[in-house]
Amino acid sequence: MSNIRKLKNAKTFVFDLDGTVLNSKNEFPQETKQLILNILENGDNVIFATGRMHISAKKLLENVFGEDIFPIISYNGAVVYVPNVGFIYEKTLDMETVHKVIGFLRQRNIHVQTYVDDKLYSEKDNEEIKLYAKHADVPYYVVNDLKAIEHPPIKMLAIAEQGILDNLIEPLKEIVDGRANVFKSFPIFLDIVPADANKGNALKFLADYLGFDLKNTVVFGDNENDIYMFEVAGTKVAVENAVDKLKEVADFVSKSNEENGVLYSFVRLFPEYLRGIESSN
């Protein structure tokens, strides 16, 4: 059963995962788990919004909470899932754009992977795909030619050093010519997703579908892909390790994800949810 309450006075809390809730060891803090359970017990709502694959986010949350109870925005807003309902929203890239991007990145020897039907594909069995799959806790598939996969991908991801990717953003934006969004979701990750797919649009769609009020919504994030959520939510919280672009538009900048910035923001902004939680914050 989805945890969403449609009461007008119910608050909705939307959490990014990597870099926000999770620390650098990919751990979900026990105090944050209790905090989220307190939110639900209080009659309020919890949603997770991530750049991860759906299968990765769902598996992580089920490992922490033991059940499938949270709506999940995944793939940076290209996919929306509601428990007991299934996928209610999905966007994919057009194949012409996909082939252009693959060709561009191949020429520059940049690792690229695609996500088709919630499966991860690469042309090379290299360190990039191995590390990514380990971090996301998902299997991956190696193929001879990504262009030969017939189904359109939900997302593409380039992986390289931060400076290299920074220099690819504008050329890639020219190549996709408005038919895809290009942005960083992590210093070494460059995402290419459908043009109208972002966390903000997905959150608006989910609010309309489930009937909660965006004015009473609090979002937490750390990276450029979270800016879209910040544009539509009533309250915006950035962790200290967030990119400057996000901190500039945040209502509150908390401690870093290593210091459990999510919990600290509740200490400062929403202490009524902290019952039963011991914290050094």
Same domain, 101 and 188: yes
**Could you tell me whether strands 72-74 and 111-116 are parallel, antiparallel, or unpaired per DSSP bridges?**
unpaired
Instruction: Decide if 4 is inside a domain.
Output: no
Q: Assess if residue 110 is contained within a domain.
A: yes
Give CA–CA dist 73/86, Å, rounded. Answer: 12
pLDDT at site 277:
87
Residue 69 domain-assigned (yes or no): yes
CA distance 110 to 164: 9
Domains held by the chain: number? 2
CATH value at residue 189: 3.30.1240.10
Q: How far apart are CA 55 and CA 49, in angstroms?
A: 13
Task: For residue 55, give its domain range.
Answer: 12-90+197-273
Q: Check whether residue 123 and residue 258 sit in a common domain.
A: no
User: What tens digit of pLDDT does each residue of 94-141 get?
Assistant: 999 999 999 999 999 999 999 999 999 999 999 999 999 998 899 999
* 218, β-bridge pairs: 13, 235
Summarised one tens digit per residue, pLDDT across range 209-259 is: 999 999 999 999 999 889 999 999 999 999 999 999 999 999 999 999 999
104 lies in the same domain as 181: yes
The amino acid present at 213, given as its one-letter code, is D
7 belongs to a structural domain: no
Instruction: Answer whether residue 237 is part of any domain.
Output: yes
Query: Which positions ≥6 away from 176 have C-beta within 8 Å?
Result: 97, 100, 101, 182, 192, 195
Domain edge (last residue) among 194, 219, 253: 194
In a shared domain, residues 105 and 147: yes
